Structure 1
Amino acid sequence: MERKAQPEDCSNDLDPDYFPIPPEAAKAMNTCYIASTYSTCTLEEISAAAPGGLRWFQLYVHRNREVSKNLVQRAEASGFQALVLTADLPYTGRRRDDIRNGFRLPPHMKLKNLEGAFEGDDSSEYGLPPNSLDASVTWNDIYWLRSLTQLPIIIKGILTREDAELAVRHGVQGIIVSNHGGRQLDGGLATIDALVEIVEAVQGRAEVYLDGGIRKGSDILKALALGAKCVFIGRPALWGLAYKGEEGLQDVLRILQDEFRLSMALAGCASVSEIGPHLVQFSKL
């Protein structure tokens, strides 16, 4: 990837999927926007809403590979600059809050990128046919994706050294250290705990990013100190949107930027290049 992380690049992973997220806010804040397969706006609508913005497309691979192929090609044609392959969701985890709350996708909202793709199938609470995801995806499918697109491929959902090494061996350009917001495997590693061994395993052969648990500017400082190029956020973006829409999201990003710069200054760092592991002390417990 050519674009390196700077203090203003506290990137914004808008993955919790089922809500229309204004890409204009990400563009206005010079921030990367990741659009999900399950967005309630189409790829084309997102592209048109913020022309010239930095945007990536997050792909969930479905058993009907033609559906996924079409999405990849639409993303590239719409000007998305990278493909983010979701690696940690062969099945939807048992999300107890959703079960307890009786969650279903509201009837006025549709997974617009998939409209017409699964006609005739009963939909689950997430608006998809049951078992529509392809649980048979393997590392070799990275080569399949490479045959479909010229976009850089980033793999999202890596938590171990072994998988990071395999990802690099299969030619990905980036890795997002992610546990899917803690919504997949109960008791899985926190991403900040997995980051160090993944950075060590990759050894600069691909860029390493992190999401999960970023709530303050000091969280960004810690992640960069441990080797992440940048971070992504999900829940804080939704909080900002619930507060005041696009303006609220910009407020969230601005707060993170300001807190990050302050944390850098208090740690004695005049630039991002001065951030390193010497800033972090690990507990011996």
Structure 2
Amino acid sequence: MTTTDTGTPAATPSPPQTPLTVDDIAQWAATELEPEVWDFVCGGAGDESTLQLNRTDLANIRLVPRVLRDVAHPSTHTTLLGTPAAMPVAVAPMAYQRLIHPHGELAVARACKRAGIPFTVSALTSTPIDQLAATGATLWAQLYWFTDRARVGELLTQAEQAGCRAVVLSVDMPRMGRRLRDIRNDFTLPAGLASGADAAGLAAAGTRPGSSIARHTDTIMDAQLNWDDIEWLSRQTVLPVVLKGILDARDAALAAEFGVDAIVVSNHGGRQFDGAPSTIGALPAVLDAVADRCPVLIDSGFRSGLDILRAMALGAGGVLLGRPILYGLVGGERGVELTLSVLREELLDAMTHTGCADLRAAADLASVISEGLLPAPAALT
């Protein structure tokens, strides 16, 4: 039994046995969450073809092991956006985490602190950012481009005052994707879940059927976001600016030309445009376009330490984790720690068996595409 941050009792379920994979954790979480909440966490846009493609394309990448490389003590340590990290992963921004567990973002931030990885605070957090800063975790702050420019400036100020190390602007959400599970469920957040100005915004009228969150985002998201706004953003903050949601190599090249500090190859976990390519399929062309002018991170579909190594082998600088963290969050802070522990063990195992004593060696691994991944990215052999 745990307590909520207001002191009221809150039962925290525990997995029936020690999980061996993220899939084990997901199967357990599915039995603990209300069906409509599970659909909100796991669902994607449209018929969820992009959501599935993320997984299929990752699974079709095979790494060619090196041998005789002395992997007695492999190291997963790296640097992400100038900050040391114990693994090449950060937690992606995910809204309203108290929907999953009463401690929500606090539980995730504390687990990230212990694991030595960054935590990206969602612009739609259900826990104020100053409370998350008090955990001592390395924080990045997500931005959405709101129609209220003053609100964007306010979030920037809050991020700087909280000691965040970077600003991550999601550029792939001019409006929320058409998520059929949420529409069919008429999904609505429980009262009191949202924090700050967002709480009032959820009550705003909208015209879209189904999900109240979709109706809400219609009222606050600015679809006029363009490259001039990126220049404005860079002038407003001293923090590194990261663009999240890049898939086209031409946009990646523009981002580098505009001097952004990093990009994240992302299709929003298949939750925005159903019909987009997988992120792992888009990665090689993006890397070619950027040409080492800024770090390139990636998210969407990652479920194992082997998946993480696959991304590193193809040239990514790190991976942002989404749904696996929410699966673990069903068990609170301990559940998130279990998820990260499983992923680290899998990553160490994959590095050992492929001859990688450190993550620099991963970039030298050869990779092959199994039959079924069409078209095969030209950068892979």
- What is the TM-score normalised by the length of structure 2? 0.70
| 1:147 to 1:63, Cα distance in 2 relative to 1, 3 A | same
The offset of 1:14, in angstroms, is 4.1
State yes or no: 1:212 paired with 2:300.
yes
Q: Cα deviation per residue 1:14-62 (whole Å; 9 max; x = unaligned)?
A: 42444322211111100110001101011111112x12x2110010011
State yes or no: 1:87 paired with 2:171.
yes
Q: Which runs of 4+ in 1 moved over 4 A?
A: none
State yes or no: 1:26 paired with 2:112.
yes
| 1:268 to 1:113, Cα distance in 2 relative to 1, 3 A | farther
Structure of greater Rg: 2
Higher RCO, 1 vs 2 (CA within 8 Å, ≥6 residues apart): 2
Distance 2:324 2:345 in 1: 15
Secondary structure of 2:140's partner? strand
The offset of 1:143, in angstroms, is 1.4
Distance 2:360 2:85 in 1: 10
Tell me how many residue pairs correspond in the alignment.
Answer: 280
Matches within 5 A, 1:216-255: 216-242=304-330, 244-255=331-342
Distance 1:145 1:136 in 2: 14
The offset of 1:269, in angstroms, is 1.1
| 1:129 to 1:149, Cα distance in 2 relative to 1, 3 A | same
The offset of 1:121, in angstroms, is 3.4
Q: Cα deviation per residue 1:158-217 (whole Å; 9 max; x = unaligned)?
A: 001101001111110000111011010012111111111111111111001011111011
- Structure 1 residue aligned with 2:232, among 117, 135, 144? 144
State yes or no: 1:12 paired with 2:91.
yes
- What is the TM-score normalised by the length of structure 1? 0.92
Q: Which residue of 2 aligns with 1:64?
A: 148
Distance 1:239 1:151 in 2: 31
State yes or no: 1:260 paired with 2:347.
yes
Distance 2:263 2:296 in 1: 5
Secondary structure of 2:296's partner? strand
The offset of 1:105, in angstroms, is 1.1
Distance 1:169 1:129 in 2: 30
List alignment gaps of at least 5 residues for structure 2: 1-80, 99-103, 375-381
Pick which of 195-204 and 152-161 moved more.
Answer: 195-204
List alignment gaps of at least 5 residues for structure 1: none
- Structure 1 residue aligned with 2:128, among 22, 42, 47? 42
Cα-Cα RMSD: 1.9
